[in-house]
């Protein structure tokens, strides 16, 4: 069996285990509704994590995503408040996210700066820009939000509808998987992350690729910001501090290596759902403090990276 | 009948800040020719190839493929002109499959979607063209393949385009004999098909086995182009080392350094080996003696030193110190045993440019003491001043940053660093490279002084005369093997050159 399948299998097992725990302890846990909600509740983090997956496979990191999400949410809330149509506001936000990411990618590539530092600067910058747009939480009142989005939900069963946010998530999963596995763009990302110098000698346009990779992450973050507005029906420039770390954790639990060259969107999807499940289990329990979720995630993340390390060491030794 | 050359390079010039890497170099390749490009370290082989493949733009000169002038601006651009390269370190993507590595950037697509089935087929075909006996699984991850297979994959990739010129940059340096043989038969087949092959290597046997022509570079300049059949080995070696053949014949035996007999052996090396760097080797290091290592680039000179100092752990053999078998598996261990090593490249693994002379000098001492014991500032100052005086390091003060010193003085600082721990064995890898003549003489004087004080020294140098002048015994290495040990009166440049060329 191949290594990446092994990680996916491990993820699936953990997922089943968590579901099993939920099923044993809580009534109604093993229902379609809980699963659909899981998708909807974790859609925005998941979409950001997909963008992050691209960046990490290329050997980089993007710390700015949470700030971009917050900026996008307040940008949409403010512009809609000022009379712009929500669809236009979202289109503009997506363009801004793309441009912001592209700029970061250009700085990283042109000045040969570490992605960590460039996107750290980007994180502060986008966060600050959000406050400039508006420093209070702003509710979005528009027909698109109160009606259209709800009507877009797809009925799956009696009283169970797949929310638009979950649909967006699924769309990004499919598109991301396809992009990585079946396009030259996707394969180049692996090539750069695995060995940048070789990739350059093999004719990969590394400079252009880096701009596009970070642009894509910025775009995913902005899309995630749009999904946040559907979910919260408001925009807030101070929310989601630290969400980029959840995105990184999802990707890493899903088998994407921080050293680059290895990973995939299906894994990140499973990683995001595992994080969501832990959260869901804690809230189903009702008496446990929410911080327990963080503790479990911390332990789980540690277990995953240790196992990955052991596995790759064993494989290396076997040769 | 001489046909039109496939590739001509005329008067190629290339400079980097501070260095003229290529000076007026000519190179001609014909189709169906295997042309060896030879030269010692810094000769300009790699630079010439990088100019040819568009990695570096050329500063001057002309390049033509089949009579048409070309200006490759990137490796990909060079491929368009039919120039394909397999680099020294296999330059492929370890995490991707064999098939992807062969086809990356040239995948068959329909509407932008990669057709994996066709990609795999194409990869199989490309490998089939090499007529390899054992099949290579195109779906295997590259990093799971042996280096030899990776090399074949790199060649398959290079041939997947319609290459007319194939550049093999030290392709055999990590292959064993059987694997090299396989590569040579592939080269022969390609040659028959009319391809021009540029073969960079430092293995003399291989050059004479496969090459039709040999071009020798030295210090960025063309020494000459020769027909392999008409250039005797000795002459090739002499030219690579910057001597003329007549000169080699005339070289006088130097007066042997008088050696006291019955010297105590400090370190005995028995069957020490590491795959891919040095074959099993035996030698003794004696008190008050300089052991020289001579050989061409890639013969295993620096590799031997690195294995001895624990930079690369040995996989076989033993090191006996004062009669006790000891494992040296890290530089830290080597230092505890009283070894010091001056590395070949002081910029990357020697000096810490942003620390002062004093801090650089006490570094090894501090490392030996461990992080918790501090050397008292007074003592540190005394040590630093002592060495600045003893080695005549030219600096206004011990607090001067090392990066502000000249190369020769930097070298002295590193020597001082090692002397501060009073080593029993000091390994000097190219101690005078890039250093002016005056300082060079001082360093050689210092080597003699340390020897006379009873220190054991291992001297590696690509300057043959330096080895001859300073060593009491010389190990001659070729293709990672010790081929001779010369002592006393037998040590001469002529003898060493003859031994290498045998």
Over residues B453-502, the pLDDT tens digits come to 888 999 998 778 888 888 999 999 988 888 888 888 888 888 888 888 87
Report domain B250-335+428-434+454-502's class.
alpha beta
Q: How many CB atoms lie within 10 A of CB A269?
A: 26
Of the partner residues A183, A195, A201, the one whose CB lies closest to the CB of residue B94: A195
d(CA B104, CA B101): 5
Residue B349: per-residue pLDDT: 61
E strand map for A126-207: 138-139, 154-157, 160-162
Beta-carbon separation of A201 and B96 below 8 A: no
Nearest to B119 by CA among B129, B128, B131, B109: B109
Q: What is the mean pLDDT of chain B?
A: 84
pLDDT computed for residue A76 by the predictor = 96
pLDDT at B247: 60
Q: How confident is the model at residue A317 (pLDDT cuts 50, 70, 90)?
A: low
Of residues B246 and A193, more confidently modeled:
A193
Q: Say whether residue B92 is in contact with chain A using an 8 A CB cutoff.
A: yes
Which range among A13-22, B60-69, B349-358, B480-489 shows the weakest confidence by mean pLDDT?
B349-358
Question: How much of chain B is helix, strand and coil, in % rounded to 5?
Answer: 35, 25, 35
Class of domain B339-422: alpha beta
- φ, ψ for residue A64, nearest 5 deg: -90, -5
Tens-place pLDDT, residues A265-278: 999 999 999 999 98
Instruction: Provide the pLDDT for residue B347.
Output: 61
Whether residues B93 and A198 touch (CB distance < 8 A) is answered with yes
What DSSP designation does B433 have? T
Q: Give chain A positions within 8 Å (CB) of B105.
A: 184, 188, 202-204
**What are the pLDDT digits (tens) for B288-312?**
899 999 888 778 888 888 888 888 8
Check whether B42 has a pLDDT greater than 70: no
Answer for the pair B430, B462: CB distance below 8 angstroms, yes or no.
Answer: yes
* pLDDT number for residue B252: 44
- Mean pLDDT of the B163-179 span: 81
- Are B170 and B85 spatial neighbours (Cβ–Cβ below 8 Å)? no
In tens, the pLDDT along B346-362 reads 665 677 878 888 888 88
Q: What pLDDT shows up at residue B1?
A: 42
B215 near B225, Cβ under 8 Å?
A: yes
Q: What is the pLDDT of residues B126-162, one digit of tens each?
A: 888 887 766 788 998 888 888 788 888 988 888 887 7
pLDDT for position B258:
47
CB atoms A203 and B79 under 8 Å: yes
What is the rounded distance in angstroms from the CA atom of residue B162 to the CA atom of residue B132?
19
Chain A contact for B114, CB < 8 A?
yes
pLDDT tops 90 at residue A48 = yes
CATH architecture of A3-318: Orthogonal Bundle (1.10)
Q: Which residue has the higher pLDDT, A40 or B375?
A: A40
Of B87, B116, B141, the CB nearest to A201: B87
pLDDT for the residue numbered B47: 87
Sign of the alpha-carbon torsion through A75, A81, A87, A92: negative
Residues of B in contact with A174 (CB under 8 A): none
Which of A48-57, B47-56, B199-208, B265-274 has the highest mean predicted lDDT (pLDDT)? Answer: A48-57
Which is it for the CA torsion B11, B26, B464, B308, positive or negative? positive
Q: A27 touching B, CB under 8 A?
A: no
**Which of A199-208, A258-267, B80-89 is least confident?**
B80-89
Percent of chain B with pLDDT over 90: 18
* pLDDT averaged over every residue in chain A: 91
The pLDDT > 70 percentage for chain A reads 96
Cβ-defined contact of B107 to A187 (cutoff 8 Å)? yes
Q: Which long-range contacts (CB under 8 A, 24 or more apart) does A85-89 make?
A: A85/A144, A86/A140, A86/A142, A86/A144, A86/A145, A87/A144
Closest CB to A197 among B74, B91, B109 = B91
Choices 1.10.3470.10, 3.30.110.30, 3.40.50.1980, 3.40.50.300: CATH for B7-248: 3.40.50.300
User: Smallest CA–CA separation between B76 and chain A, in Å?
Assistant: 5
Note the pLDDT of residue B436: 67
SS3 category, B253 = coil
Ranges of each domain in chain B: 7-248, 250-335+428-434+454-502, 339-422
pLDDT value, residue B255: 42
Query: In this model, does residue B77 exceed pLDDT 50?
Result: yes
| Six-digit token string for A269 | 């999807």
Residue B29 predicted with pLDDT over 90: yes
DSSP A28: T
- A286 lies within 8 A of chain B by CB: no
Residue in A with minimal Cα distance to B144: A319
For the segment B177-195, what is each residue's pLDDT rounded down to a tens digit?
777 888 898 899 889 988 9
Interface contact flag, A198 B55, Cβ < 8 Å: no
Q: What is the mean pLDDT of residues B115-127?
A: 91
Which residues of B are less than 8 Å from A204 in CB distance? 104-105
pLDDT score at A314: 67
If you measure CA to CA, which chain B residue comes closest to A315? B144
Instruction: Quote ipTM for the complex.
Output: 0.86
pLDDT of residue B240: 81
pTM for the full model? 0.74
- The single-letter DSSP state of residue B423 is -
Question: Under an 8 A CB cutoff, do A195 and B91 touch?
Answer: yes
Please name which of A276, A206, A281, A199 lies closest in space to residue A22, comparing C-alpha atoms.
A281
Q: Is B95 on the interface with A (CB under 8 A)?
A: yes
Q: How far is B171 from chain A (nearest CA, A)?
A: 16
């Amino acid at each position: 069996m191949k290594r990446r399948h092994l990680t996916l299998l491990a993820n699936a097992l953990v997922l089943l285990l968590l579901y099993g725990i939920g099923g044993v302890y809580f009534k109604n846990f093993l229902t379609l509704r809980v699963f659909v909600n899981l998708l909807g509740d974790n859609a925005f983090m998941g979409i950001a994590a997909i963008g992050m997956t691209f960046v990490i496979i290329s050997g980089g990191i993007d710390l700015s995503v949470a700030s971009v999400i917050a900026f996008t949410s307040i940008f949409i809330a403010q512009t809609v408040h000022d009379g712009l149509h929500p669809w236009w506001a979202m289109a503009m936000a997506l363009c801004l996210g793309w441009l912001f990411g592209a700029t970061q990618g250009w700085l990283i590539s042109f000045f040969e700066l570490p992605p960590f530092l460039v996107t750290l600067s980007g994180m502060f910058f986008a966060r600050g820009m959000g406050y400039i747009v508006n420093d209070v939480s702003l509710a979005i009142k528009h027909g698109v939000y109160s009606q259209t989005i709800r009507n877009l939900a797809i009925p799956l069963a009696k009283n169970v509808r797949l929310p638009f946010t979950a649909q967006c998530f699924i769309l990004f999963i499919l598109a991301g998987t396809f992009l990585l596995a079946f396009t030259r763009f996707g394969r180049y990302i692996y090539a750069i992350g695995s060995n940048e110098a070789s990739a350059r000698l093999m004719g990969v346009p590394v400079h252009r690729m880096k701009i596009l990779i970070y642009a894509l992450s910025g775009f995913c973050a902005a899309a995630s910001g749009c999904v946040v507005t559907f979910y919260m029906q408001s925009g807030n420039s101070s929310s989601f501090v630290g969400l980029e770390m959840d995105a990184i954790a999802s990707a890493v639990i899903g088998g994407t290596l921080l050293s680059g060259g290895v990973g995939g969107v299906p894994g990140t999807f499973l990683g995001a759902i595992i994080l969501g499940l832990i959260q869901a289990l804690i809230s189903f329990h009702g008496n446990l403090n929410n911080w327990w979720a963080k503790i479990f995630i911390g332990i789980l993340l540690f277990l995953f990276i240790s196992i990955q390390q052991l596995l790759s060491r064993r494989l290396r030794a076997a040769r | 009948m001489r046909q039109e050359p496939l590739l001509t390079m005329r008067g190629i010039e290339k400079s980097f800040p501070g260095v003229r890497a290529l000076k007026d170099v000519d190179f001609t390749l014909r189709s169906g020719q295997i042309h060896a490009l030879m030269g010692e370290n810094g000769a300009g082989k790699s630079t010439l190839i990088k100019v040819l493949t568009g990695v570096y733009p050329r500063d001057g000169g002309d390049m033509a493929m089949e009579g048409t002038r070309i200006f490759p601006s990137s490796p990909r651009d060079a491929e368009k002109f039919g120039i394909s390269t397999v680099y020294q370190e296999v330059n492929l993507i370890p995490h991707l499959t064999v098939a992807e590595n062969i086809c990356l950037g040239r995948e068959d697509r329909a509407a932008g979607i990669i057709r994996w089935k066709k990609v795999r087929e194409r990869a199989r075909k490309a490998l089939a063209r090499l007529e390899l006996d054992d099949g290579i699984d195109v779906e295997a991850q590259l990093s799971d393949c042996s280096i030899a297979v990776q090399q074949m994959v790199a060649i398959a990739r290079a041939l997947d385009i319609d290459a007319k010129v194939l550049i093999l940059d030290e392709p055999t340096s990590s292959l064993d004999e059987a694997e090299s043989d396989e590569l040579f038969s592939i080269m022969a087949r390609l040659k028959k098909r009319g391809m021009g092959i540029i073969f960079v290597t430092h293995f003399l046997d291989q050059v004479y086995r496969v090459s039709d022509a040999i071009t020798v570079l030295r210090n960025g300049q063309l020494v000459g182009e020769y027909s392999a059949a008409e250039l005797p080995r000795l002459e090739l070696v002499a030219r690579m080392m910057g001597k003329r053949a007549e000169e080699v014949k005339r070289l006088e035996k130097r007066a042997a350094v008088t050696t006291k007999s019955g010297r105590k052996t400090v370190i005995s090396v028995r069957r020490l080996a590491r795959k891919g760097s040095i074959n099993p080797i035996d030698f003794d290091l004696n008190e008050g003696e300089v052991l020289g290592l001579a050989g061409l680039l890639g013969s295993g000179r620096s590799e031997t030193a690195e294995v001895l100092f624990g930079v690369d752990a040995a996989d076989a053999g033993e090191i006996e110190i004062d009669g006790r078998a000891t494992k040296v598996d890290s530089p830290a261990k080597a230092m505890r045993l009283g070894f010091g090593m001056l590395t070949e490249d002081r910029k990357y693994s020697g000096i810490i440019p942003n620390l002062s002379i004093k801090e650089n000098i006490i570094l090894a001492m501090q490392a030996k003491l461990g992080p918790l014991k501090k050397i008292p500032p007074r003592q540190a100052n005394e040590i630093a001043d002592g060495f600045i005086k003893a080695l005549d390091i030219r600096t206004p003060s011990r607090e001067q940053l090392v990066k502000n010193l000249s190369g020769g003085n930097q070298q002295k600082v590193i020597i001082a660093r090692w002397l501060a721990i009073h080593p029993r064995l000091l390994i000097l890898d190219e101690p005078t490279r890039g250093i002016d003549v005056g300082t060079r003489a001082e360093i050689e004087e210092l080597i003699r002084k340390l020897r006379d004080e009873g220190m054991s020294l291992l001297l590696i140098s690509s300057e043959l005369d330096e080895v001859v002048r300073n060593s009491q015994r010389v190990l001659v290495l070729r293709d990672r093997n010790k081929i001779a040990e010369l002592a006393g009166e037998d040590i001469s440049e002529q003898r060493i050159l003859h031994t290498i060329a045998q």
